[in-house]
Chains A and B, each alone.
Chain A
Amino acid sequence: MKKPIIIDCDPGLDDAIAIFMIINNSKFDIRAVTPVAGNQTVDKTSRNALNLIDFAGADVPVAIGAAKPLFKKLVTAEHVHGKTGLGDISLPGSHKEFSELNAFEMIHQEAEKFERNLEIVALGPLTNIAVTLLKYPDIKEKIKRITLMGGSCGCGNDTPAAEFNIYADSDAAKIVFDSGIPITMVGLDVTHKALVYEEEINEISAYKNKISEVAAKILTNSLKFCRKHGFDGSVMHDPLAMACVIDETVISTESLRVDIETKGILTNGKTVADVFRVTGKKANADVGIDINREKFIKILKKAMMNYDI
């Protein structure tokens, strides 16, 4: 049976590659894409999602989600993802319509339909999932796993203590982490090791299909940005989370208690992982600790190679 999954995201440049990685994967039944405000405003991330899916030749409903975090003011990452949210990538505008359902109704409907089998991969702030859990608390029992890109056991990237996706809506993250739903946390501890090197970007570019060309362009631009920040390769946060959904052995994980700080002056949005196990609290997340980078690259390349459009 194909695995039912919802892609909750905020495309977003690295989201775009992540979507390309799975949207035509025959092992998955992609029930919906639910965009949220994050890297850009929700009107832009939704439009980008629709265009990306159409561009990849897929037919998946796009159910628009939250326009802003639960309580905090919206902060976007325009400095990374540009005015449109997709940097200088311009895609043909899709003529398809958005789903009549919003993200919350969509997530609820699918969770009910695939009782205990639905997975969610979350690539942006966790607002959509949190709102759904607030409105339909019963679905906690019905979601198989949330694999999310977010957080860090070490320091952050948006603030010294917090990673962007969690910081952007720390209250939503708290609701999700406290929900009891099995969580795989793909945070900076592993995504900073998910580097795509220049020669690998060139290989992807050489596949000469229109998806690999867009992906290569995104990777090349990201490489320039990442080099300025001291990385040797292009750091692929969201694609790593997606690779973990496709093959969970891409990362090694440790089961840890993770609490989300929402009150700190300096630490709001920190994923406080009990790495030395001092609380005695039950673990609530499988936290990515290390990565098999070669395997990640293999999955990424394979997905890009498979397009013949």
Chain B
Amino acid sequence: MQDRRPIIMDCDPGHDDAIALLMAFACDCLDIRLVTTVGGNQTPDKTINNALKVLSYAGVGVEVAAGASQPLMRDLITAPEVHGESGLEGPVLPPATLKKSERNAITAMANVISKSEKKVTIISTGPLTNTATLLLSHPEAADKIERISLMGGSCIGGNWTPAAEFNILVDPEAAGIVFNSGIPITMCGLDVTHKAQIYKNEIEIIRNIDNKVAKMVAELLDYFELFHKKFGFEGSPMHDPCAVAYIINPNLFITKAYHVDIETQGEFTTGATVADMRYASNKEKNVDVALDIDREAFIQLLIECMTYYS
């Protein structure tokens, strides 16, 4: 218990964000000091509301602060195709009892980081606008960030454009700032999240866990599955939970260090995470890229986390 790791969860719930949040709060080794939200899977008003609703439903008390209303330099792209109109279609949740913080996300992040005795880890499961804004407005915070574990990017082709993964595509300039910050980064991109699929029988296991949070998660997964079926997936990729699982247990993953930079000017490639996997440049390795995962152990961890709410 003495070794609890201080965490900021930066997210855009989002089905898989919601599951990532619930996973993180179920884990005693994590000391989640702040949840911040950003526009992405849905508009920022919806993502903050979704975060508050999910955390209220799970009975979690934490500061939840709303972040950037749009990407640094671009118009917001959202993903209603995946997450529905509310951003969290599927389960019917009661209105939130938690209230959003009076502080904005950036102020709250800076404050949590400066007050923390230990370095803080950021788990980022949405576009990187909040973290980039933090680094621009509070550059000194960089030294007190232990690591950023993020869901985003891909070395194998994108899911929103042929070259780009959604979270990076939404705010490539922000991603560029974060990737070039010198802060240790773990990139859980499509390379690994497409291998982190949950299958129907495993959703049933979660549904049969004796608590309402697990049942809600099963309903989230039912909805999430519909979209992925259309694209030929056998199960649903658990994108965002990967970024949390890496912090809980990095041994579940195989990672490799590469230089990774973000394309911001391409005609077809904006938002691509350009990983120098063949060492064609001499640039310093700045990112631990997750390439493989022990899927079964990962799903087991997810299931265990859900029993926490019984």
Contact = CB atoms under 8 A, between A and B. Distances in A.
Contacts of B264: 265
B155 interface: yes
Interface of A: 153-161, 229, 257, 259-267, 270, 272-279
6 contacts: A160-B276, A161-B263, A229-B278, A261-B163, A264-B270, A272-B268
Interface in B110-164: 155-163
B145 to A, nearest CB: 24
A267 B278 contact: no
Question: Is chain B's binding surface mostly helix, strand, loop or mixed?
Answer: loop
Contacts of B156: 153-154, 275
Question: Is chain A's binding surface mostly helix, strand, loop or mixed?
Answer: loop
B162 A267 contact: no
Given A160-B278, A161-B272, A266-B274, A276 B266 contact: no
B275 interface: yes
Contacts of A153: 156-157
B265 interface: yes
A264 B161 CA distance: 15
A272 B162 contact: yes
The residue among B157, B162, B259 with the most chain A CB atoms within 10 A of its own CB is B162
Contacts of B268: 259-261, 264, 270, 272
Nearest to B162: A274
Given A156-B278, A275-B162, 16 more contacts: A153-B157, A155-B278, A159-B280, A261-B266, A261-B267, A261-B268, A264-B263, A264-B265, A265-B265, A265-B266, A267-B266, A267-B274, A270-B268, A272-B268, A277-B231, A278-B160
A159 B281 contact: yes
A153 B272 CA distance: 13
B226 interface: no
Q: When A and B form their complex, which 6 residue pairs have the shortest distance between CB atoms, in order from nearest?
A: A264-B266, A160-B276, A274-B162, A267-B269, A275-B157, A272-B268
B266 A154 contact: no
A153 B157 CA distance: 7
A263 B268 CA distance: 8
A43 to B, nearest CB: 28
Contacts, number: 101
Interface residues of B, number: 29
A263 B265 contact: yes
A277 B261 CA distance: 24
Contact of A276 (B155, B157, B259): B157
Given A155-B276, A160-B275, A160-B276, A266 B263 contact: yes
B162 A160 contact: no
B283 to A, nearest CB: 8
Contact of B267 (A155, A158, A264): A264
Interface of B: 155-163, 231, 259, 261-270, 272, 274-278, 280-281
A158 B281 CA distance: 8
Contacts of A278: 158-162
B263 A160 contact: no
A265 B172 CA distance: 13
A227 B104 CA distance: 54
Contacts of A161: 263, 269, 272, 274
Nearest to B264: A265
B280 A267 contact: no
B7 to A, nearest CB: 31
B157 A273 contact: yes
B229 to A, nearest CB: 14
B269 A160 contact: no
The residue among A229, A262, A264, A279 with the most chain B CB atoms within 10 A of its own CB is A264
Contact of A265 (B158, B160, B259, B263): B263
A272 B159 CA distance: 13
Nearest to B157: A275
The residue among B261, B264, B268, B275 with the most chain A CB atoms within 10 A of its own CB is B268
Nearest to A267: B269
A158 B268 CA distance: 19
Contacts of B266: 261, 263-267, 270
B280 A158 contact: yes
